[in-house]
Amino acid sequence: MLELRDLVSGYGKAMVVKGLSIDVGRGQLVSLIGANGAGKTTTLKAISGLIPIKSGKVIFDGQDITNASARKILSLGVAHCPEGRHVFPYMTVTENLEMGCYLRNDRKAIADDMSRIFEQFPRLAERRQQVAGTLSGGEQQMLAIGRALMSRPKLIMFDEPSLGLAPNIVEHTFDIISNIRDQGTTVLMVEQNALAALEMCDHAYLIESGALTLAGSGRELVDNPHVRAAYLAD
């Protein structure tokens, strides 16, 4: 569904991702693991059109989306749930969800989707008129996920969904992400919590210094001595 071919991208003259090729199959949950600064977030930003791609290609659903606008990429079905949640702090929960479906005009279906999200996240329903900046970290994460779902994506990318959340919330967040995959949406997840990311995924990639060093099933990576030593701390 999503293919990266020799992707090179970064900020200004500094290239952070240096020739990355990965595949995300339809309906899969794919984890991208690696250390801080390895280029995981940069990869997601390059896919979703936030930063320019210097060379290489991004193919989504057979279509070349290299350096397309963020708007175009979203409209093709790629949603990006950014690192640190990034809810709109002075907008209400409802307004945040409305922003998620900014490109849609099907009022009826939007209302249905919104009530489904409120059903799934009752905490958000209770706080629908509250501004998002006053929510707890976990609630903000639910809102960020709900907002990404509001675009009805075919592929949803999560960047560090567990970052800065309490342990019980982390578990809940991963359950939600697995659920999203189970309901047929393809997921590409970047995660520092390597063990959890590897256990829940269908396929995983390890990137180091902007390049691919290992690929395989989650199990294979968990059993790999290098991964164990460097990322699973045992």
Where does this chain bind another protein (CB under 8 A)? 48-50, 69-71, 74-75, 79-80, 82, 86, 88-91, 95, 98-100, 102-103, 147, 151
Least Å distance, CB 52 to another protein, is 12
Q: Which two tokens stand for residue 77?
A: 């079905």
For residue 82, which of 123, 50, 130 has the smallest C-alpha distance?
50
Least Å distance, CB 48 to another protein, is 6
Alpha helices in 77-210, H assignment, sequence order: 93-100, 107-120, 122-126, 137-149, 167-182, 194-200
Least Å distance, CB 34 to another protein, is 22
Q: How far is 225 from 231, CA to CA, in rounded Å?
A: 10
Output 44 or 196, the one with its CB closest to another protein: 44
Least Å distance, CB 139 to another protein, is 17
